[in-house]
A and B are shown apart, each in its own frame.
Chain A
Amino acid sequence: MSIQVYEGATLDCLRENPIEILRKMLLIRIFEEKVEELFLVKGMLIGPAHLYLGQEAIAVGICSNLKKEDIVITTYRGHGHAIAKGVSIKKIMAELFGKKTGTCKGLGGSMHVAIDVENGILYATAIVGSGIPIAAGIALANKYQGKNLVTVCFFGDGAVNTGAFHEGLNIAALWRLPVIFVCENNLYAMSTHISRSLSSKSIAERASSYNMDVFIVDGNDVLSVYKLARELVEKVRNGIGPFFIEARTYKMKGHGVYDPALYRDKEEVKRWLERDPIKLFKEKLIKENIITEREFENLRSEIVKEVEESIDFAIKSDYLEFNELYNLVWV
């Protein structure tokens, strides 16, 4: 079992229009920027929220290779995965507002908004690492039932130091389960830099000790993420697995929406902002004459309008009646 650095993918790896990939990344970006504004400027949203700003290439690059019925498990930083998996932003926004038209009828909120069974995004946990064995169980059930479904489990770099990570990866590898683990290494678990939390040389090295093929990919290069996912999804669909991806990326903002992230070195932040995944992809598309600056601006305006509509929808939606809660504990 090996560790491979995966890089250098080109546009011809895409099965869909590159503008569609750009659009999905931009939708996540603008959605998250609006959410941030709703929290910090307008004060219309409260509670914890963990934005996906800067990591868009990972969710989009991977989920673009999944079918609607393929399974995604994610975490409290899940707005981006929900959007990439095809959940309507109206339902997502309504959930953030705690409304009954939200994905979870307003009972989950931001940290569980990425549970939308009809779109194959089955679980979003707010406890670091806990989704990993659950994803293994989903893959076990799909294998048992002869369903050729792919299960993808997203989590952050903080998760790799939990017991659930160890137990889940060990079992997934021991039983050769059809699942792809995607660690979005954004370098910080809250404020703790990975150099202060990880004893292994790298996350990839730790993962490889569980006897599975591990790939390191630039998580800000959507084409490389896409191409890698394309290859692995095909293998997993044919029953081969598990696989582990360490996607190296960076949070553009802090851990949660209220965190100004002052613990990060300014130079480091600057370096990473230059590697903004949307900026990189947009520049590539302009260079290849696939999109013009004006077309990009038009796309942006369309998306802003779409996000504004989702806010309207959420505001106009009702809350669940309290008594209805009693019907949602038991089957």
Chain B
Amino acid sequence: MREITYAEALREALREEMKRDERVIILGEEVGVFGGVYKVTQGLLEEFGPKRVIDTPISEIAIIGVAAGAAMSGLKPVAEIMYMDFLTIAMDQIVTQISKMRFMSGGQLKVPLVIRTQYSLGRVHGAQHSQFFPSWFLQSPGIKIVLPSTPYDAKGLLKSSIRDENPVLFIEAGILYRTKGPVPEEEYLIPLGKADIKRKGEDVTIIAFSRCVLEAIEAAKILEEKGISAEVIDPRSLVPLDLEIIINSVKRTGKVVIVADDVKNGSITAEVAMLIIENAFDYLDGPIVRVTAPPLPTPFSPVLEKQYMPSKEKIVKAVLENFSF
């Protein structure tokens, strides 16, 4: 199969969905003439014109607000927020407006929009351009949360997100844009809420999100050399979450490590851990172990940033120190 990058896979998804459905428009900062700050939307302005690929001012509130209004009036906007950190500027629109619209209108409104954003942890961007806080949105029922880790998943999940009739927060990992992977030429979709077992194993279950999936796979390879068979599960979406695959794996292995790039306090790993306790407590052989960023802002210094981030070494260490096989 051909190999393309994560960014190219995303671009293909956008292009295919725009060709398929005239209601799909893109809006955001630098998405048109500049082609996207990380070139995900490159060439789309030329192909689809300024009516469908809309450069906006630096106005995050309006980017999401306009997308919400357009979505409730028959379009399917894909709004890009350049860095995940900038979501905070539009939190009212995301959390208090779009996530609530359907519910508080008694089911009258429908807001089918995608917010594409990326977090740049690992790219030496410092404290204000590296944040990853998907757990905040778990407190906001009404918006789906998607976290692709491979080019294949990125494309299939983005296409499904655009076709979804609900708001979707699609969080890309900036550090993965140039990673390559197999992506078929023919069309495919990946349903939201379907986890993927990235590596089968019998001794320990490693559940990892976004960039950390790649670290978990590398960790599993190291563990294999030590005679430990690790299963790596990528939930791919946090809302909806495929609890079934996770629980089935935990029931087999009895040992769980959960890995994500957010800071430990209130991390998405805490939510997954609690769901496992609620649903498979009797099957656990030991504590649920988490590998996350520490509760600190992201340091700029490249050396310190590396120490700050979850890594394959930290995952291996967590497995070896907490479990006996």
Q: Which residues of A contact B (CB under 8 A)?
A: 71, 73, 102-108, 112, 115-117, 122-123, 125, 127, 130, 132-142, 144-145, 163-164, 167-168, 170-171, 174, 325, 327-331
Contact = CB atoms under 8 A, between A and B. Distances in A.
Given A127-B92, A134-B69, 13 more contacts: A71-B73, A104-B105, A105-B106, A130-B96, A132-B65, A134-B68, A137-B70, A141-B75, A145-B74, A164-B92, A168-B66, A170-B57, A171-B62
A167 B70 CA distance: 16
B67 interface: yes
B10 to A, nearest CB: 23
Residue of A105, A133, A171, A327 contacting most chain B CB atoms (<10 Å): A133
A117 B74 contact: no
Nearest to B165: A331
A112 B96 CA distance: 13
A144 B70 CA distance: 9
Interface of B: 25, 51, 56-57, 59-62, 64-75, 77, 92-93, 96-97, 101-110, 112, 141-142, 165-166
Given A108-B104, A141-B73, A171-B57, A133 B109 contact: no
A115 B109 contact: yes
A76 to B, nearest CB: 12
A138 B56 CA distance: 16
B104 A133 contact: no
Given A137-B70, A167-B61, A144 B106 contact: no
A302 to B, nearest CB: 30
Nearest to B66: A137
B107 A167 contact: no
B107 A105 contact: yes
Given A104-B108, A145-B74, A329 B103 contact: yes
A139 B64 CA distance: 14
Contact of B110 (A105, A115, A137, A331): A331
Nearest to B112: A331
A133 to B, nearest CB: 3
A133 B65 contact: yes
B209 to A, nearest CB: 22
B59 A328 contact: no
A322 B235 CA distance: 30
A102 B108 CA distance: 12
A307 to B, nearest CB: 22
Nearest to B64: A133
A134 B96 CA distance: 13
10 contacts: A103-B108, A105-B107, A106-B106, A115-B109, A117-B109, A123-B72, A125-B97, A141-B71, A144-B25, A331-B112
B122 to A, nearest CB: 31
B310 to A, nearest CB: 31
Which 5 A/B pairs are nearest by Cβ-Cβ distance?
A137-B69, A133-B65, A105-B106, A137-B66, A141-B73
Contact of A136 (B66, B141, B142): B66
Nearest to A166: B59
Contacts of B61: 130, 133, 163-164, 167-168
Query: Main SS of the interface on chain A?
Result: helix
A2 B142 CA distance: 42
A71 to B, nearest CB: 7
Given A142-B73, A144-B75, A171-B59, A130 B65 contact: yes
A138 B105 contact: no
A138 B69 contact: yes
A116 B51 contact: no
B72 A140 contact: no
A138 B106 contact: no
A171 B61 CA distance: 11
Contact of B106 (A108, A130, A331): A108
B110 A112 contact: no
Contacts of A117: 105, 108-109
Contacts of B112: 331
Contact of B107 (A102, A168, A174, A327): A327
A163 B75 CA distance: 25
Contacts of B56: 171
Contacts of A330: 102, 142, 166
B254 to A, nearest CB: 32
Contacts of B51: 144
A173 B110 CA distance: 26
B69 to A, nearest CB: 2
B58 to A, nearest CB: 9
B104 A136 contact: no
A107 B70 contact: no
Contacts of A136: 62, 65-66, 69
Nearest to A103: B106
A174 B104 CA distance: 31
B166 A331 contact: yes
Contacts of A133: 59, 61-62, 64-66, 68-69, 93
Contacts of A142: 73
B66 A171 contact: yes
A179 to B, nearest CB: 10
Contact of A168 (B65, B109, B141): B65
A212 to B, nearest CB: 15
Quick one: which of A71, A140, A327 has the most chain B CB within 10 A? A140
Contacts of A331: 102, 110, 112, 165-166
A325 B107 CA distance: 9
Contact of B72 (A122, A144, A163, A329): A122
Contacts of A107: 103-106
